[in-house]
Structure 1
Amino acid sequence: MKKILLGTSALVLLAGAAAAQQVTTKAPFTVTLGGSIRSDFIIVNDNAANASSREARLDYRLHLKAEAKAENGLTYGFDARLRNNQNGSGQANQDVVGADRKFVYMGGSWGKIELGDTLAPDSNFEVQAPSVGIGQADYAFGPSTGNYSYYHFNEGTFDTKVVYYTPVFSGFQAGISYTPEKGSRGRDNARSKFVTGSSNNYNDLIALGAAYTGKFGDVGVKLGGGVEFGDEKDVSSTVKATVGDYTVWHLGAQVSYAGFTFGGHYFDNGESGLAKGDDQIGWQLGLTYSTGPWGVGINYARVDTDYAARGRRDDTDYMVGLGAAYQLAPGLSLQADIVKFEAESQTTGLKAGNTKNDGTLFTFRTRVDF
């Protein structure tokens, strides 16, 4: 991380009237800038029709943070992660930089509050199956092979919310958040009460999460998970009968010893994002070993979707991955993954004669962290 010191005399926490109270500080803000750049070369062999078998891409993430501490002990500031556009097509869209995570915060001995586009506590405390480097089966490789989901429904979503985290007590920490509108972030004004036909059918989301990190002799333990639930925007009888309820919960654990780490993750999406009566669950298992600059890992992920009695067969998507990583120099690493996957959830856009997508994905990455 590169640090830049900027002088300042005050931060207005609550702006409004001219006489608004200010919390002053004699110390300057400390601004930190860091991030990572990931250069990938990808080879795919699957059943997708009219799709290239190789791809090269560049993904960069810049972490910007400004923090100060007031005389009364209050710590406050701004945190953001800038990224190039992952989903846009064409060079012009790929050159657009946006911030997926951006929030203001304040904290002290009583805990921490975050306000803005940030993770819910359950996702922030999640413990996935262990992986190395790119991530093996835990890697979000959708842009390369299809938009398959091997995670809980609200994983990695930065909708605008307010979050409170407790202090850490003997390795334990908990949090709670409130999200007014699912799928709304940044300057978006989500005032529409009914969103017929939209995938963002939920509002007033409450998330609860907790985590534990501890060590017993040479054995390390990590636990984490939580739940998020919300209401349907449209409460008409028609929507109530067709749109699934929103409740997501998940739990994960890892145990480490002598360079080995073993763990897993289980989630239950219920009807979230699905039709009434459907159900979706998923799980992962993984094992890694690290020594010196080397790391190797294997993991497995699986998602089962039950479409109830609607004339559609149930889907099972799975993937198993092997990976390795080598730190060539401080801040520079070489990483590689090979993943075998099978996705029954993809039924269109396939080569003739195929009813599902299965294949193999190879990714080689050069990564710089600074």
Structure 2
Amino acid sequence: MKKLLMTTTALIALGGVTSALADLSISGNARWTYTTWTDKTLDDAGSGANNTSMGEVLQLWFNADETADSGMTYGAAARLRQVKDGFDRNWIYVGDDWGKVSLGRQFSPFTTGSLGANWRGTISGVQPGVGDVTGNAGLITTSWVNPSGTAPKFIYNSPNIAGITLGFSMADGGTKVATADDGTKSGGKADSTAMRVNYSTDIMDGTGLTLGYATETTKAVDGAADSAKTDHSEVGAAVTSGDLTASVIQLGKSQKPNVGATTSDQKATELEVAYAMSDALTVNVIMLNSKENKGTKKGDKFSSTELGAKYTIAPGLTANLIYTKASHTPNMGAKNTGNSTQLQMRVNF
């Protein structure tokens, strides 16, 4: 990705604007999508949905980095995203031989170290849903899992020690508990804690293996009977050999409210196989299956198959085509199926 580098001297030349950091880089991407989908809900009315939509995303990254005489690195980063109405991620960092600490609005190690296909983004990042199919299930429908989002965090990532990397984070869940006149309580202490360990090694010449395990727990809101403690987990493996990449992960999600028994305990398995057919063309297939094992929706199932292709037209310019077929089988009622096709044009700069 091409970056624009501006030194302190250049910043001063702009008219009195100064910076303590030597290097500021600006990068980003612009995306345009056209999506068509259809789904069939086999209920009494035989209703379903068929539609098309167009969308766009623009995001800019600002990174300021410096290295002290001692070798310590430090700086700041921020993302300006058009669809989020402003800067949705921003943090400062300090790093050295002992690892790296990040402070601010950034994803937890559970997400940033994921071995899931949709975080890897072989074709275009998070691939499209299929209308109501992915909305009705209440199940895990993608490996893009981001439990604490961009909540303010303390994050520590270790250096690579014999192929092992560790990550830990704590996220702020909000202010203290407030009690309304009717006795209803809300807010406070729904904090999140995440950890991840990944191990990477070469298993033969030109073939690399990565194993990963991660958890993230979000506490229930104090005093709110219907608020639930939520636990996420991921365990998986990814293999890269030349132009071929394959990964398999198992995701877990469970919820237990302040009052009552566990309301949800889900498991999902995802497999991706991707192949770079040439310098310009990459194709992949992603298969995901999930199931609810507890609560009122015990027995619900979801499955999807996604086929993707990315073609590099010119440096920084790609065309992505994705076809998704999915189905939701509830524990009561009829099966719902659907499919989606998305064309995406993307410019990285």
Residue 303 of structure 1, aligned match among 271, 285, 290: 290
Question: By how many angstroms is 1:52 displaced?
Answer: 5.3
User: What is the SS of the residue equivalent to 2:111?
Assistant: helix
Partner residue of 1:227? 215
Change (3 A) 1:273 1:171: farther
Partner residue of 1:285? 271
Does the aligned pair in 1 maintain the 2:39–2:48 contact within 8 Å?
no
Partner residue of 1:141? 129
Letter of the structure 1 residue corresponding to residue 82 of structure 2 = N
Letter of the structure 1 residue corresponding to residue 24 of structure 2 = V
Partner residue of 1:23? none
Change (3 A) 1:152 1:331: closer
Letter of the structure 2 residue corresponding to residue 77 of structure 1 = G
Change (3 A) 1:156 1:366: farther
Change (3 A) 1:73 1:218: closer
Does the aligned pair in 2 maintain the 1:131–1:288 contact within 8 Å?
no
1:325 correspondence with 2:310? yes
1:1-370 alignment to 2 at 5 Å?
1-7=2-8, 28-47=21-40, 53-85=51-83, 97-129=85-117, 132-134=122-124, 139=127, 141=129, 146-147=134-135, 149-151=141-143, 154-155=146-147, 157-181=149-173, 190-192=175-177, 203-215=190-202, 216-235=204-223, 239=225, 243-271=227-255, 276-277=261-262, 278-290=264-276, 291-308=278-295, 310=296, 312=297, 314-344=299-329, 355=334, 357-370=336-349
Letter of the structure 2 residue corresponding to residue 57 of structure 1 = G
Q: Point out the more displaced range, 47-56 or 287-296.
A: 47-56
Identity %: 23
Does the aligned pair in 1 maintain the 2:116–2:143 contact within 8 Å?
no
User: What is the SS of the residue equivalent to 1:249?
Assistant: strand
Does the aligned pair in 2 maintain the 1:323–1:335 contact within 8 Å?
yes
- For 1:61 and 1:272, the matched residues in 2 are separated by 37
Question: By how many angstroms is 1:284 displaced?
Answer: 0.3
Partner residue of 2:44? none
- For 2:217 and 2:265, the matched residues in 1 are separated by 15
Change (3 A) 1:30 1:144: farther
Change (3 A) 1:329 1:118: same
Does the aligned pair in 1 maintain the 2:148–2:171 contact within 8 Å?
no
- For 1:139 and 1:266, the matched residues in 2 are separated by 18
Give 5+ residue unaligned stretches, structure 1: 9-25, 87-96, 185-189, 348-353
- For 2:257 and 2:124, the matched residues in 1 are separated by 28
- For 2:265 and 2:105, the matched residues in 1 are separated by 28
The C-alpha deviation readout for 1:59-97, integer Å capped at 9, x for no partner, is 1221111112222322111111221226xxxxxxxxxx3
Does the aligned pair in 2 maintain the 1:123–1:156 contact within 8 Å?
no
Change (3 A) 1:201 1:323: farther
- For 2:67 and 2:316, the matched residues in 1 are separated by 30
Question: By how many angstroms is 1:235 displaced?
Answer: 4.6
Does the aligned pair in 2 maintain the 1:152–1:250 contact within 8 Å?
no
Does the aligned pair in 2 maintain the 1:211–1:224 contact within 8 Å?
yes
- For 1:273 and 1:46, the matched residues in 2 are separated by 33
Question: By how many angstroms is 1:194 displaced?
Answer: 7.0
* Count of residue pairs brought into register by the alignment: 321
Letter of the structure 2 residue corresponding to residue 285 of structure 1 = L
User: What is the SS of the residue equivalent to 2:190?
Assistant: strand
Does the aligned pair in 2 maintain the 1:112–1:165 contact within 8 Å?
yes
Question: By how many angstroms is 1:313 displaced?
Answer: 5.3
Question: By how many angstroms is 1:265 displaced?
Answer: 1.3
Does the aligned pair in 1 maintain the 2:134–2:328 contact within 8 Å?
no
Question: By how many angstroms is 1:343 displaced?
Answer: 2.8
Give the aligned CA root-mean-square deviation in angstroms: 3.2
Change (3 A) 1:32 1:324: same
Change (3 A) 1:27 1:230: closer
